Structure 1
């Protein structure tokens, strides 16, 4: 009997189930323990930057500047013509200064009436009280509440003025806590939703719990491994959230593929061991191919040269790898240990679970003998009218994809924060009063001594020339590091920080002002960082796309020994990704979903999201494609015609694909409940793409195109005949005769 790698591993695990379970538990425990012991090394701010911004950020990081959390209090009249010269205004500012100083948590308080005054608008109606939080800036948000309370008391005493605090510490506390709660809620929703769908899919508690348990242990172990690898390649703090999202999706999917096939074989009368062997040889192999394809897709993010993307690649590859290993090893062992109890609806003979009514996907989809009558009914007209099906389904997807040509990207800013956050409005008021003041351009200049009269004069010359361009404005701040070797110059720039006006201002600073005043200086900040990120992305995007598409093509070509299958899989996946982009543009850029989802459109899609979605979606879409194609090829190799094999493959995988897609859609959709627009976009984009892929693409376009191509589906040029011949089924001599009786299966 020929045995592929997945079958060999699964067979060994089933025969040595206790050893397999022990090794897996030991691996998860060791990875988790070691990961907690060493801790995850998060990347430094500049490691997520590119170009000139990265150089500036690195200079700042290595200069030994004290990490300071700066705060401001906005003071402006709610109505009337009150100005900073009026006694009432002056008294309010004095009260703010006294109140914040009384907390003992602040230092370096600056007002418009001091020797080094804080900024005042030209109309004299708005000013800022500036100060720094004492202690480490990273922990300032834990100490800022008394300051917020003090400012609130001053506001209450001066109702005619708007007195509001904003800054890194207050934003970290008020916004950070809200976002953390969002993620906790999303994570808490994901598990029960997943479990509920699995209960509906299997109609049995154990069968529903096993995939969730396997996915969670894979996530735990991958998180531990990430802590180790992060010391070689630092990761962004959001990497763990992405790992949870991807790990839960693929971990559950892989278990679904495996368990469904094992149950199907048991229903045919196979003994327990034989059913597991067949599941390992078929679904196990599909899991292996799918996992490798997903990993290859994720690896494309390494080619971006951006620390955030590279960290995402590191984390997602680890979680997919552990999910594959767990599915091929511990899952057969669990199935061997549990046996037919995995189908039980009663716990200890007394407690009946949620499947009492047996309203499962198998009943809804009319699954009998491993075949879905529901999808079979759909297959009928699709295969009878393949041209019409291709035209209608393809036309729909192309129609959805057309808006993607108008996709506009933008950097994250305060407008990304959705919901009732008063501090967000404060930031916007400050930005309207002092454009660029919230997020100024930051010029980093390095020299032997930046405090010499000559160098000080150069800095003053830079300030004069920058302001003279009309593209920069106050406030201008200069900070010197303890060694007096680096000067940090903060300067406000015109525009919103993300528009063409701000970008032109950065170009002016870099190309005209700095060469004439501070040669060798580097510019960073939000606007500069966004520009450099977009430039880097533009350069590397073709490389990433080419890498992912080429390697996925090679993997599919080797796996299915078909040039047509490989090319068609790439085209269908690209079509579904393009349709998802179109949905994103319609909903978040055009704003058609604002009322339903409860957000306000910024008119752009977050700049890092399109590439991230392409890589993730291309990898995840291969899950269903590989699984369905493997079943089709298995049937074709056993003597069915292409049309019969397609019908059999779609109908026999319908329940698992429907369940897997619903889980992914539900898990991804929970991210649409978050307060950050970026994560709402990510959740809706992923959910829409998976829904499109599992229905229109896999249920209509795939079978219709295969029907049209007939035996050309399996075309392989002679010069590629050296490719290895891989089995897609179990080639045992005692293979079921019923799978050779075509009419019984597809009739």
Structure 2
């Protein structure tokens, strides 16, 4: 016998008397509505005043492996060699017709030198030198602005001067800033523009999906308004946090996307449940109490799962990767806080008016979906064919993962017309394919001659510059070695390893391209640890909430399966190039190196989000009836429409990033969009309900000793 919560008569007595902790919390929010609204008004106004400066305030660099040899080389170069390390600003001056000896070209070089001299963040300006920074034909020269400031400030130097520097170009002479700092400047700008465009495109699509899901303009608008409040607060919060520790500008990009997607998910789950409650009770306070006691617990658990998953990324010793996770976590905290405090107040004030401006068909809409009830019944009758079919498709998509290659992004991710890309191409054409990846070797002065001799004999090194003693008398020497291969090629990494293997003791090898290699190595090394921590913590959180070890384990495993399937699809698209012409990009032959660690955490968090929505609803009905069939059938009937609508919103948000020109946001949008599509369509609406049917009472069984240890959590109300 299956019992539905919709069976209570509309006039049933309010059930808030015996509400749990979250039910009482929701009622308290409603009773203190003025204070809640005032508090949120202060938060939004105070942090909102800082929000407009978020992109100009946040850090532009941080893509490094802390403690690596290459980062040590950069810091030693900044301290002892006038900042001639990887973050130095390089300005390429080139002419097809003129040479460096020509007065017109020399005049432009002098102007470039003057611009660099005028910035206190530049420690020294090194004029073009024959044999090192002037091409053999004399048509290309590089002016070097040494870094006095840190890597983030040097990106701001590039931001501040690239327009003025390129403006020095004449009909005969082209000027383009290049190097790591200029690259991150152009790269961040291109990605910021792409993110903003994608967000603007996603809002109207999202609103349309919400109207279809709710059938009411008022109900559809609530999640968007609450998400906006969370976004404004998180933007201002990031500005404040940046005063304590540098936060990558990418943190805000990801926070915007995740806050919109998750904020709508959470609000959707609560608003749908409130509409059912107000229909049953007629009393807004009782409806809010019931909503928070049931759906509110699921939202809180989901938010904690997201935060736990992303916290594992903090283990990776890369500032940009860590702070991207921090940005998303901060956005989730604000969105979760708005959902659990501000939303109950708004719902309590609206009452039945939550259904205002409804479409005609929506007035008959119930929380329990007849369509998903029929779908659940079909899965109940024939679980094996659907389970095997969904599992086979997911495994088929997972297989390509075993051929996945990862590497740090190449120069191709920057638009072809960006100054840094043009400067990079000019340097390669004039000085060799490996010139943009110049190796920097810092060694004790006594070992410098031997180090230079060894470096010159390494296969893959085409030239070695004479050792340059530190001008401050610190006892170090700087040697620059020119590799033969492009910095993004596997051969470059091999050459770097050879040089490091043969250097005398006390020598360090770095450079901008070496920093990328070291970062990729760190990401690869930490990936198993991050995955293990996410899986372990996700399972423990689900176990504590559901108090059912088998279904908690199955929930974690199927979430892992949807994640690997998404990366399998990513391999086919971005590494092998299937659909590249349709999506408008040139394949690099690999996936960006930070994607496995970071996207794994994001995808797993989203997958567990849907798992919580489905299993918490199923557990609620199992607790009421004691029948596993009720958990499977009614869980799907009551949460299926919400999961489908939430997935539609997320897919719309993520896929808008597929329209971006830069490759990284395109990768992000497609990978996350595919992950959500696979997770909702194959796992939450097919495989997991089928597993509930096949495992029966075993899904919810918990040994007595474990039940005594776990916290007492129930998803029923009253």
TM-score if structure 2 supplies the norm length? 0.86
Question: Would the aligned equivalents of 1:21 and 1:334 in 2 still touch at CA under 8 Å?
Answer: no
Match of 2:438 in 1: 440
- Distance (whole Å) between structure 1 residues aligned to residue 426 and residue 347 of structure 2: 61
How many Å apart are 1:550 and its aligned residue? 1.3
How many Å apart are 1:715 and its aligned residue? 1.4
Question: Would the aligned equivalents of 1:109 and 1:129 in 2 still touch at CA under 8 Å?
Answer: no
In structure 2, do the counterparts of structure 1 residues 206 and 605 end up closer, same or farther at CA, with 3 Å as the change threshold? same
- Distance (whole Å) between structure 1 residues aligned to residue 599 and residue 459 of structure 2: 39
Question: Would the aligned equivalents of 2:62 and 2:318 in 1 still touch at CA under 8 Å?
Answer: no
In structure 2, do the counterparts of structure 1 residues 654 and 231 end up closer, same or farther at CA, with 3 Å as the change threshold? same
Q: Are positions 1:19 and 2:8 aligned together?
A: no
Match of 1:663 in 2: 649
How many Å apart are 1:105 and its aligned residue? 3.5
Q: Are positions 1:510 and 2:537 aligned together?
A: no
Unaligned runs of 5+ in 1: 77-87, 156-162, 346-354, 448-454, 732-747
Match of 1:376 in 2: 373
In structure 2, do the counterparts of structure 1 residues 413 and 152 end up closer, same or farther at CA, with 3 Å as the change threshold? farther
Q: Alignment partner of 1:498: what SS?
A: coil
- Which deviates more from structure 2 when the two are superposed, residues 226-235 or residues 187-196? 226-235
Among 280, 292, 295, the residue aligned to 2:307: 295
- Distance (whole Å) between structure 1 residues aligned to residue 470 and residue 26 of structure 2: 60
Q: Are positions 1:492 and 2:482 aligned together?
A: yes
Match of 2:293 in 1: 281
Unaligned runs of 5+ in 2: 1-16, 118-124, 149-153
Q: Alignment partner of 2:440: what SS?
A: strand
- Distance (whole Å) between structure 2 residues aligned to residue 11 and residue 62 of structure 1: 60
1:354-388 deviation line (CA, Å, top 9, x unaligned): x76x68xx69xxx8422323333433432221111
Question: Would the aligned equivalents of 1:506 and 1:527 in 2 still touch at CA under 8 Å?
Answer: no
Count of residue correspondences:
680
Q: Are positions 1:392 and 2:389 aligned together?
A: yes
Question: Would the aligned equivalents of 1:41 and 1:230 in 2 still touch at CA under 8 Å?
Answer: yes
Among 623, 645, 654, the residue aligned to 2:609: 623
1:430-451 deviation line (CA, Å, top 9, x unaligned): 3355122112222344x6xxxx
Alignment of 1:524-543 (within 5 A): 524-543=510-529
Q: Are positions 1:672 and 2:658 aligned together?
A: yes
Alignment of 1:76-95 (within 5 A): 90=99, 95=104
Question: Would the aligned equivalents of 1:47 and 1:54 in 2 still touch at CA under 8 Å?
Answer: yes
How many Å apart are 1:657 and its aligned residue? 1.4
In structure 2, do the counterparts of structure 1 residues 264 and 444 end up closer, same or farther at CA, with 3 Å as the change threshold? farther
Question: Would the aligned equivalents of 1:296 and 1:552 in 2 still touch at CA under 8 Å?
Answer: yes
Q: Alignment partner of 1:154: what SS?
A: coil
Alignment of 1:324-723 (within 5 A): 324-345=336-357, 368-417=365-414, 424=421, 427-428=424-425, 430-431=427-428, 433-445=431-443, 455=445, 458-474=447-463, 476=465, 483-485=472-474, 487-512=477-502, 514-515=503-504, 519-639=505-625, 641-722=627-708, 723=710
In structure 2, do the counterparts of structure 1 residues 26 and 89 end up closer, same or farther at CA, with 3 Å as the change threshold? closer
How many Å apart are 1:413 and its aligned residue? 1.6
Q: Alignment partner of 1:342: what SS?
A: helix
Q: Are positions 1:266 and 2:281 aligned together?
A: no
Q: Alignment partner of 1:443: what SS?
A: strand
Q: Are positions 1:120 and 2:109 aligned together?
A: no
In structure 2, do the counterparts of structure 1 residues 261 and 64 end up closer, same or farther at CA, with 3 Å as the change threshold? farther
Question: Would the aligned equivalents of 1:50 and 1:533 in 2 still touch at CA under 8 Å?
Answer: no
In structure 2, do the counterparts of structure 1 residues 48 and 674 end up closer, same or farther at CA, with 3 Å as the change threshold? farther
Q: Are positions 1:71 and 2:80 aligned together?
A: no
Match of 2:26 in 1: 10
Question: Would the aligned equivalents of 1:41 and 1:231 in 2 still touch at CA under 8 Å?
Answer: no
Q: Are positions 1:241 and 2:253 aligned together?
A: yes
How many Å apart are 1:414 and its aligned residue? 0.4
Question: Would the aligned equivalents of 1:386 and 1:708 in 2 still touch at CA under 8 Å?
Answer: yes
Question: Would the aligned equivalents of 1:418 and 1:599 in 2 still touch at CA under 8 Å?
Answer: no
Q: Are positions 1:189 and 2:206 aligned together?
A: no
Q: Alignment partner of 2:396: what SS?
A: helix
The Cα RMSD (Å) is: 3.2
How many Å apart are 1:711 and its aligned residue? 1.3
Q: Are positions 1:54 and 2:71 aligned together?
A: yes
Question: Would the aligned equivalents of 2:166 and 2:177 in 1 still touch at CA under 8 Å?
Answer: no
1:492-521 deviation line (CA, Å, top 9, x unaligned): 223222333211221222221x31xxx423
Match of 2:192 in 1: 180
- Distance (whole Å) between structure 2 residues aligned to residue 150 and residue 230 of structure 1: 34
Question: Would the aligned equivalents of 1:671 and 1:680 in 2 still touch at CA under 8 Å?
Answer: yes
1:97-124 deviation line (CA, Å, top 9, x unaligned): 334435753676866xx76664436xx5
